[in-house]
């Protein structure tokens, strides 16, 4: 397992970063260590030489003013009472007069001498300076540099172990981090695989940490929800289409059969064929309404968008419908604030409004009062279509904008159940917020045109290069 | 009327050609945009029917080219799509009318008749007259015989459109498009109720009916024979 996983971990970005970081840190620690090492060593060296130089100066003066006997006495005293330094006085013939340096240095000036490896005693290293005092007498003063080297060794050792520990920590940290990230990525991969295998309800697990992965997972899950809803509505719509067309197709077939059977009696034949044509029209209407909704929903089409006088449009539609409403025994009252402009597609908005009025007229009893209003409220334009009819039960309100959805009581009224779906599509395209409320009694549909809708911001929705290209691509499709 | 039909679907083309021939018209059919360009620029047609999707030369481009070469023959676009901006694109390209497939032949026929007899340049008529009915387009006054008739603005537009197309059938859709600028099919009987209002206003004092219903097609205004 780890044999397979390790190389993969090493290929992850986090591990790479950890390794790079470790490398950079090691190099800087090494550089720093080297600088400290050389500085400390130079400073210790200087201390040693300074001390020896001072001692030699002092003894030289002693020899010059008091002579050899006093020098020997002085050295004897110092070796007895100040063991910090080691001394040696040698006469012209190379005979040791006094001192505790283990060996006689060969040269004058600075030299390093070591004690013989006797096995019993601790081996010592001395930094020694030898000078000629006069009459061939040589004075050597040395300092044991063993402790100095020990310090250096300890320093190097510490540096080495720090480096090692740090490398281990960063690398294992990197590995752990990589493994953590990888497990999140693996979760996403597994979810995707599950969905490919057909478990469409699979979702990426969340850890509740609200980190980048959680946010990514949440977004992915929302995307999956959306896709799922679309797929479901697609299959729902397909089923509904099949269902919606079965009835008129069946009736069409019956009429054609009857027409065939009655081929001889020409009068009745005509009626049957007219009826068959009417059924065909119903089917074609359903299809064109579906196509139209689909096209509006594709939402790449803002070519029909212009600045338009919404008040004038409301008045035109209200005027067109008021006589028709009267003939149906209903009253249509319009209260429209004049001069309200918006940016939109006149044809679609007219159709949307007409569908709402169609609905209000067709699904209400005689004597119903239908109120159409448009007014400016704050930065929004509020339009409403309200009737005093039977209304829509609260639990059905969210469904009525679905394709083919029909209330139980309106199943018998002619219609394809696509009118409000088209309203919803046009509203979506224009960013209009739709609301259904109880008009107590009746239904009130409110349309809130977003504030920026009225001004230039919708202009930015005009096709840029991208959407223009899509529109062109769609136009080329056949 | 002499009609050029530019349509690559043989069945649709045959349907249109047969229908027109039965109505006593002359119809030429081509399936290719380039042939259409040649015929349209070299023959005096009354009206041209162009499918939006064509091999050789796309419908919009064809009409732009025809217009570019100075031919002013009215053009009616046909399309299989009910695109929400196709109508605008078609009219921008120089088309005069637009009809979405599938269509009833009576609808096409009415539209072609309206297009074909449209004067090339709108004449500055200020008065229209059918029998004893007269409307003044400037003062917007309507008179039937000696009787002044008071019409709502929309009723006036409806009557004006009918009278501009005197003796020609106008369909419900044509009325919706020209009188209300509605490019959709309302479920409510808007046209019917307005026609019925208009009739009752025009027929005050038991005058004879001028606006006739053509079953399955639309309406026509004509003087009683």
List pLDDT tens digits, range B74-116.
999 988 765 667 777 888 889 999 888 888 888 999 999 989 8
A126, A136 Cβ separation under 8 angstroms:
no
Residue of B nearest to A474 (CA): B83
What is the pLDDT averaged over residues B202-225?
88
Q: Do the chains contact at A288 and B184, CB–CB below 8 Å? A: no
The answer, for B88 touching chain A at a CB cutoff of 8 Å, is: yes
Q: Which of A270, A278, A303, A473 should one mutate to test binding to chain B, selecting the residue with the greatest count of B CBs within 10 A? A: A303
A45 has pLDDT over 60: yes
B53, B82, B194: residue with CB nearest A323: B194
Supply φ then ψ for residue B126, to 5 degrees. Answer: -115, -15
Give yes or no for A396 touching B (CB within 8 A): no
Burial of A379-394, coded b for 16+ CB within 10 Å and e otherwise, reads ebbbbbbbbbbbbbee
- Evaluate if pTM is beyond 0.80: no
d(CA B182, CA B175) in angstroms, rounded, equals 9
> In CATH, what number is assigned to the domain containing residue A279?
1.10.287
In a domain? residue A28: no
Do A305 and A229 share a structural domain?
Answer: no
pLDDT in tens, A224-250: 988 888 888 787 777 777 777 777 788
> % helix / strand / coil in chain A, to the nearest 5?
60, 15, 25
Kindly tell me if the per-residue pLDDT of A445 is higher than 80: yes
DSSP-assigned beta bridge partners for residue A435: A446
Tokens of A5: 């996983």
Element (H, E) at B136: strand B133-136
Q: B185 CB near a chain A CB, below 8 Å? A: yes
Q: Mark which of A292, A323, A343 sits at the end of a domain.
A: A292
Residues of B in contact with A282 (CB under 8 A): none
Strand order in the sheet with A443-449: A331-336, A369-377, A380-387, A443-449, A432-438
Q: Are residues A253 and A316 in the same domain?
A: no
User: Where in the sequence is the domain holding A422, given as residue range(s)?
Assistant: 299-476
Cβ–Cβ < 8 Å for A224, A248 = no
CB contact under 8 A, B196 and A327: yes
Residues A407 and A266 grouped into a single domain: no
> Do A457 and A354 fall within a single domain?
yes
Do the chains contact at A320 and B190, CB–CB below 8 Å? yes
User: Where among A272, A292, A312 does a domain terminate?
Assistant: A292
Are the beta carbons of B84 and A323 separated by less than 8 Å? no
Q: Are A33 and A159 in contact (CB under 8 A)?
A: yes
Check if B201 contacts A (Cβ < 8 Å): no
In whole angstroms, give the CA distance from residue A279 to residue A291. 19
Contact in structure between B180 and B155 (CB atoms under 8 Å):
no
Residue A373 and residue A331 share a domain: yes
Q: Which residue has the tokens 């990426």?
A: A204
Task: Say what the pLDDT of residue A122 is.
Answer: 64
Predicted confidence (pLDDT) per residue in B53-85, tens digit: 777 778 889 999 999 998 889 999 988 765 667
Please report, for the domain that includes residue A452, its CATH number: 3.30.565.10
Same domain, residue pair A277 and A381: no
The dotted CATH code for B2-116 is 3.40.50.2300
- DSSP states of A328-346: TT-EEEEEE-TT-EEEEEH
Q: Which of residues 126-145 of B touch A (CB under 8 A)?
A: none
Please report which confidence band the pLDDT of residue A465 belongs to, taking 50, 70 and 90 as the band edges. Answer: very low
Contact residues on chain A for B181, CB-CB shorter than 8 A? 316, 346, 350
Clarify whether residues A321 and A470 are in a common domain: yes
Does residue A340 have a pLDDT over 50?
A: yes
Residue boundaries of the structural domains of chain B = 2-116, 127-221
From the CB of residue A174, how many other CB atoms can be counted at a distance below 10 Å? 22
Q: Which ipTM did the prediction report?
A: 0.84
Based on the fold, state whether residues A441 and A339 are members of the same structural domain: yes
Is residue A470 a part of any domain in this protein?
Answer: yes
Does any domain span residue A87? Answer: no
What's the mean pLDDT when you consider all of chain B? 88
Among A260, A276, A292, which residue terminates a domain? A292
Contact between chains at B193 and A288 (C-beta distance less than 8 A): no
C-alpha–C-alpha distance, residues B105 and B92, integer Å: 25
Q: For A3-16, what is the mean pLDDT?
A: 64
E-only strand ranges, A292-414:
305-309, 331-336, 341-345, 369-377, 380-387
A314-324 pLDDT, tens digit per residue, is: 999 999 999 99
Residue A311 pLDDT level (bands cut at 50, 70, 90): very high
d(CA A362, CA A132): 131
Q: What top-level class would CATH report for the domain B127-221?
A: mainly alpha
Angle subtended at Cα B206 by Cα B203 and Cα B210, rounded to the nearest 5 degrees: 40
Please indicate, yes or no, whether residues A284 and A351 belong to a single structural domain of this protein: no
A324 interfaces chain B, CB cutoff of 8 Å: yes
Cβ-Cβ contacts under 8 Å for B42 (sequence gap 6 or more): none
For residue A119, pLDDT over 70 is answered with no
Same domain, yes or no: A312 and A456: yes
For residue A467, being part of any structural domain is answered with: yes
A23-37, A275-289, A416-430, B178-192: least confident range: A275-289
One domain for residues A321 and A418: yes
DSSP element (H, E) containing A88: strand A85-90
Cβ B188–A348 below 8 Å, yes or no?
no
- The whole-angstrom separation of Cα A372 and Cα A389 is 14
Sequence-ordered list of residues with C-beta below 8 angstroms from that of A261, at least 6 positions apart, any chain: none
| Closest C-alpha among A86, A60, A226, A299 to residue B84 | A299
| CA pseudo-torsion sign A232, A237, A243, A249 | negative
Q: Is A262 helix (H, G, I), strand (E, B) or coil?
A: coil
Q: Give me the number of domains chain A comprises.
A: 2
- By the 10 Å C-beta count (0-12 exposed, 13-18 middle, 19+ buried), A297 is classed as middle
CB of A299 within 8 Å of any CB in chain B?
no
Same domain, A340 and A227: no
- pLDDT surpasses 90 at A25: no
Highest mean pLDDT among A30-34, A40-44, A335-339: A335-339
């Amino acid at each position: 397992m780890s044999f397979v996983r390790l190389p993969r971990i090493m290929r992850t970005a986090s591990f790479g970063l950890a390794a790079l970081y470790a490398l950079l840190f090691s190099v800087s620690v090494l550089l720093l260590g080297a600088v400290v090492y050389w500085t400390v060593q130079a400073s210790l060296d200087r201390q040693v030489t300074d001390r020896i130089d001072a001692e030699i100066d002092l003894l030289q003066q002693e020899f010059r003013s008091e002579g050899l006997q006093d020098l020997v006495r002085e050295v004897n005293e110092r070796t007895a009472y100040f063991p910090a330094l080691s001394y040696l006085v040698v006469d012209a013939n190379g005979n040791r007069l006094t001192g505790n340096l283990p060996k006689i240095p060969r040269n004058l000036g600075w030299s390093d001498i070591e004690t013989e490896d006797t096995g019993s005693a601790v081996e010592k290293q001395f930094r020694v300076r030898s000078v000629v005092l006069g009459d061939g007498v040589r004075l050597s003063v040395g300092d044991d540099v063993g402790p100095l080297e020990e310090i250096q060794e300890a320093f190097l050792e510490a540096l080495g172990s720090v480096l090692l520990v740090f490398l281990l920590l960063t690398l294992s940290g990197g590995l752990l981090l990589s493994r953590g990230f990888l497990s999140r990525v693996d979760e996403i991969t597994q979810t995707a695989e599950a969905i490919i295998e057909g478990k469409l309800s699979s979702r990426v697990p969340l850890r509740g940490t609200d980190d980048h992965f959680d946010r990514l997972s949440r977004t992915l899950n929302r995307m999956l929800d959306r896709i799922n809803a679309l797929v479901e509505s697609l299959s729902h719509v397909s089923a509904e289409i099949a269902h919606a067309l079965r009835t008129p197709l069946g009736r069409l077939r019956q009429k054609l059969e009857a027409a065939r059977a009655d081929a001889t009696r020409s009068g009745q034949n005509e009626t049957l064929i007219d009826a068959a044509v009417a059924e065909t029209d119903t089917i074609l209407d359903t299809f064109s309404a579906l196509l139209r909704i689909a096209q509006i929903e594709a939402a790449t089409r803002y070519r029909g968008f212009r600045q338009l006088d919404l008040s004038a449009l409301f008045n035109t539609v209200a005027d067109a419908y008021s006589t028709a409403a009267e003939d149906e025994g209903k009253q249509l009252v319009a209260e429209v604030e004049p001069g309200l402009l918006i940016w939109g597609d006149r044809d679609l908005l007219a159709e949307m409004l007409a569908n709402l009025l169609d609905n209000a007229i067709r699904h209400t009893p005689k004597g119903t009062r239908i109120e159409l209003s448009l007014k400016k409220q704050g930065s929004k334009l509020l339009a409403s279509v309200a009737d005093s009819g039977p209304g829509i039960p609260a639990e059905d309100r969210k469904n009525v904008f679905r394709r083919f959805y029909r209330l139980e009581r309106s199943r018998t009224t002619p219609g394809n159940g696509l009118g409000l779906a088209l309203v919803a599509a046009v509203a979506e395209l224009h960013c209009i917020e739709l609301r259904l409320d109880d008009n107590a009694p009746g239904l009130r549909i409110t349309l809130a045109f977003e504030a920026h809708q009225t001004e230039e911001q919708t202009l930015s929705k005009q096709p840029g290069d991208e959407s223009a290209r899509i529109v062109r691509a769609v136009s080329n499709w056949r | 009327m002499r009609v050029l039909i530019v349509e690559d679907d043989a069945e649709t083309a045959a349907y249109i050609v047969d229908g027109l021939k039965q109505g006593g018209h002359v119809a030429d059919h081509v399936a290719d945009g380039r042939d259409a360009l040649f015929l349209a620029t070299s023959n005096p047609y009354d009206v041209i029917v162009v499918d939006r999707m064509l091999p050789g030369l796309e419908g919009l481009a064809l009409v732009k080219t025809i217009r570019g070469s100075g031919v002013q023959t009215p053009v009616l676009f046909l399309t299989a799509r009910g695109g929400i901006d196709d109508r605008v694109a078609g009219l921008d390209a120089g088309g005069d009318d637009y009809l979405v497939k599938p269509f009833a032949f009576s609808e096409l026929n009415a539209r072609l008749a309206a297009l074909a007899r449209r004067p090339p340049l709108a004449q500055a008529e200020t008065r229209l007259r059918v029998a004893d009915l007269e409307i003044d387009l400037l003062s917007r006054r309507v008179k039937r015989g000696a009787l002044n008739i008071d019409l709502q603005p929309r009723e006036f537009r409806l009557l004006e459109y009918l009278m501009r197309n005197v003796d020609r059938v106008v369909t419900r859709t044509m009325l919706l498009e020209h009188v209300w600028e509605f490019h959709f099919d309302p479920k409510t009987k808007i046209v019917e109720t307005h026609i019925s209002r208009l009739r009752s206003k025009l027929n005050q004092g038991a005058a004879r009916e001028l606006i006739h219903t053509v079953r399955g097609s639309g309406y026509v205004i004509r003087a009683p024979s």
